[in-house]
Structure 1
Amino acid sequence: MGKRRKKRALRPITAPFTVAAPAGARIRDRLRLSAADAEVLTLVGSHLGRHQRADLAERVAIGQVPVKRNQRAERKKALTAVSSSRWAGAMTRASEDQYQLSLRCLYDEAAGLRRAIGTIERRLAVPCQKRVGRVRGYADQNERFHKQRRLLALKTRLAAVEARIASGRPAIAAGGRRLLKARHNLADAQLTEAQWRRRWEASRLFLTADGESAAPFGNYTITVDPHDGTVSLVLPEPLRHLANAPRGRYRLTCTVRFSHRREEWLDRVTANRAVRYDIAHDPARGRWYLDASWSTDKTVLPTPEEIRASGTRMLSVDLNADHLAATVLDEYGNPVGEPVTIPLELTGPTGRRDGRLRAAITRLTVLAHEHGCAGIVIENLGFDDARATGRETMGRGRHGKRFRRTVAGIPTARFRERLRGMAYHQGLIVIAVDPAYTSIWGEKYWKTPLQQQTRTTVTRHHGAAVAIGRRGLGHRVRRRPGVTAPDQRIGQRRATGQTAPLPRPRGTTSPPRTAGTPHQGDKTRPRRGDQLVLFPDLEDRSRGHQALTGPVYGDLANTGQLPQERSHHLPGA
Structure 2
Amino acid sequence: MGGVRALVAPFVVPGPSGVAVRDRLKHLTAQDERVLRAIGEHQGALASRDLKVRCTQGLEHGADTWAARKRGLTKVSSSRIAGAITKGTHDQWALARRCQAAHIRSLEAGIRTLRHRLSLPLGAKGTKRAAGGYRSKGEWFRKSRRLADLETRHTAAVTDRRAGRVRVVRGGKHLLNTRHHLAAAGLTEEQWRGRWEAERWFLAADGESGKRFGNETIRVTPTGQVSIKLPAPLAHLANASHGRYTLTGTVAFAHRGVEWADRIEGNRAVAYHIHLDTARGRWYLTASWQRPLVQTIPWDTARAGGVIGVDTNADHFAAYRLDAHGNPVGEPHRFAYDLSGTAHHRDAQIRHTLTRLLHWAHQTGVTGIGIEDLDFSTEKTREKHGRRKGLRQLISGIPTGKLKARLVSMAAEQGLAIIAVDPAHTSMWGGQHWQKPLTTPRRKMSRHDAAGIAIGRRALGHPIRRRTAPPPHDRRDRVRHRTAQTAPGAREREGTRPPATEHAPRDVLPNGTRKRQPSAPKTVRDAPRTHEWAQDPLMCSG
**Fold match, TM over 0.5?**
yes
Equivalent residues in 2 for 1:80-91 (5 A)? 80-91=74-85
Q: Which amino acid aligns with 1:475?
A: H
**1:142-171 CA deviation, whole Å, 9 max, x = no partner?**
222111111011111112212221222211
- Whole-angstrom distance in 2 between the partners of 1:313 and 1:528: 34
Q: CA separation of 1:317/1:196 partners in 2, compared to 1, >3 Å: closer, same or farther?
A: same
1:229 corresponds to which of 221, 224, 246: 224
CA positional deviation for 1:109: 0.9
Q: Contact conserved, 1:334 with 1:497, CA < 8 A, in 2?
A: no
Moved more, 154-163 or 290-299: 154-163
- Residue 459 (structure 1) aligns with: 446
Q: Which residue does 2:138 correspond to in 1?
A: 142
Q: Match for residue 348 of structure 2?
A: 355
| Shift of residue 222, structure 1, vs aligned partner | 0.3
The CA distance in 2 between the partners of 1:373 and 1:526, in whole Å, is: 34
Residues 290-337 of structure 1 show CA distances to partners (whole Å, capped at 9, x for unaligned) of 0111111111122334434x3x12111111111111111111111111
Partner of 1:441: 429
CA contact (8 A) 1:332 1:500 kept: no
Q: What code does the residue aligned with 1:219 have?
A: N
Within 2, Cα distance between the matches of 1:381 and 1:96? 29
What is the rounded CA distance, in whole Å, between the counterparts of 2:301 and 2:79 in structure 1? 49
User: Deviations for 1:235-256, whole angstroms, at most 9, x for unmatched residues?
Assistant: 1111111111100000001111
- Distance in 2 of aligned mates of 1:74 and 1:120: 48
**Among residues 74, 80, 105, which one is paired with 2:68 in the alignment?**
74
Q: What does residue 183 of structure 1 align with?
A: 179
Corresponding letter in the other structure for 2:312 = L
Moved more, 275-284 or 153-162: 153-162
Q: Which runs of 5+ in 1 are unaligned?
A: 1-5, 484-495, 506-520, 537-542, 548-573
State which of 95, 98, 105 in structure 2 corresponds to 1:101. 95
Distance 1:74 1:526 in 2: 87
The answer as to whether partners of 2:314 and 2:397 remain within 8 angstroms in 1 is: yes
Matching of residues 24-173 of structure 1 within 5 Å: 24-32=18-26, 33-69=28-64, 71-130=65-124, 135=130, 136-173=132-169
Task: Tell whether the 8 Å contact from 1:327 to 1:462 is kept in structure 2 after alignment.
Answer: yes
Measured in 1, the distance between the counterparts of 2:293 and 2:97 equals: 27
Contact 2:54 2:61 in 1 (8 A): no
Distance in 1 of aligned mates of 2:438 and 2:294: 37
Alignment correspondent of 1:245: 240
SS in 1 for 2:393: helix
Deviation per residue, 1:395-430 (Å, 9 max, x gap): 333xx2111110111111001110000001110000
Tell me, yes or no, if the aligned pair for 2:379 and 2:395 is still in contact at 8 Å. Answer: no
Partner of 1:214: 210
SS at match of 2:241: coil
Matched, 1:476 2:455: no
Question: 1:332 & 1:232 partners in 2: Cα distance?
Answer: 57
Deviations 1:182-238 (A, max 9, x none): 000111111111111111011011001011111111000000001x21000101111
* Shift in CA distance, 524/347, structure 1 to aligned 2, threshold 3 Å: closer
**2:299 aligned partner:** 304
**Aligned CA distance change for structure 1 residues 193 and 132 (closer, same or farther; 3 Å):** closer
Flag the 1:522–1:148 CA change in 2: closer, same or farther, 3 A. same
| TM-score under structure 2 length normalisation | 0.86
1:383 to 376, 383, 389: 376
Q: Secondary structure of the equivalent of 2:310?
A: strand
Deviation at 1:376, TM superposition (A): 0.8
Letter in 1 for 2:275: A
Aligned to 1:428: 416
Q: Does 1:293 align with 2:288?
A: yes
Once the two structures are superposed, what CA deviation does each residue of 1:6-47 show, in whole Å capped at 9, x if it has no partner?
Answer: 8x7222211111111001111111101222111110010001
Against the structure 1 CA distance between its residues 524 and 59, is the aligned structure 2 distance closer, same or farther, given a 3 Å change threshold? closer
| Alignment partner, residue 371 of structure 1 | 364
In structure 1, what is the Cα distance between the partners aligned to 2:334 and 2:420?
20
Displacement of 1:123: 2.1
Secondary structure, aligned partner of 2:367: strand
Q: How much does 1:382 deviate? A: 1.2
1:22 alignment counterpart = 16
Letter in 2 for 1:273: R
Shift of 1:497: 6.9
Query: Cα distance, 1:448 vs. partner?
Result: 1.6
Q: Write the letter of the residue equivalent to 2:194.
A: R
Matched with 2:395 is: 407
Match of 2:263 among 247, 264, 268: 268
Residue 327 in structure 1 maps to residue 320 in structure 2: yes
Residues 108-137 of structure 1 show CA distances to partners (whole Å, capped at 9, x for unaligned) of: 111211121122112222222336996532
1:481-519 deviation digits (Å, cap 9, x = unpaired): 589xxxxxxxxxxxx9756888469xxxxxxxxxxxxxx
Change (3 A) 1:236 1:532: closer
Identity of aligned residues (%): 45
Letter in 1 for 2:316: H
Question: In the alignment, is the contact (CA less than 8 A) between 2:503 and 2:510 conserved in 1?
Answer: no
Contact 2:318 2:335 in 1 (8 A): yes
Q: Distance in 2 between matches of 1:527 and 1:352?
A: 57
**Counterpart-to-counterpart distance in 1, 2:509 and 2:125:** 70
Identify which of 388, 392, 413 aligns with 2:383.
392
Letter in 2 for 1:79: L
Q: Shift of residue 478 of structure 1?
A: 1.4
Measured in 2, the distance between the counterparts of 1:63 and 1:103 equals: 10
Residue 539 of structure 1 corresponds to: none
Secondary structure at 1:340 match in 2: strand
Give the superposition deviation at 1:68: 2.3
Task: Name the CA distance, whole Å, in 1 between partners of 2:300 and 2:491.
Answer: 26
Change (3 A) 1:257 1:524: closer
CA distance in 1, matches of 2:424, 2:436: 21
Query: Which of residues 275, 281, 285 in structure 2 aligns to 1:280?
Result: 275
CA contact (8 A) 1:334 1:498 kept: no
Query: Structure 1 pair 523/426, CA: closer, same or farther in 2 (3 Å)?
Result: closer
Return the offset for 1:458.
2.3
The structure-2 alpha-carbon separation of the partners of 1:344 and 1:132, relative to structure 1 and needing over 3 Å to count, comes to closer
> What letter corresponds to residue 103 of structure 1 in structure 2?
R
The one-character-per-residue Cα deviations of 1:441-479 (angstroms, maximum 9, x if unpaired) are 111221122222x72432111011111111111111111
Q: Is the 8 A contact 1:126 1:132 kept in 2?
A: no
Q: Which residue of 1 aligns with 2:253?
A: 258
Query: What is the rounded CA distance, in whole Å, between the counterparts of 2:20 and 2:150 in structure 1?
Result: 39
CA deviations 1:257-296 (Å, max 9, x no partner) are: 1111112212211111111000011000111110111111
Q: 1:198 aligns with which of 194, 209, 212?
A: 194
- Alignment length (residue pairs): 495
2:462, 2:484 within 8 Å by CA — same for their partners in 1? no
**Inter-partner Cα distance in structure 1 for 2:469 and 2:96:** 56
RMSD in angstroms over aligned alpha carbons?
Answer: 2.5
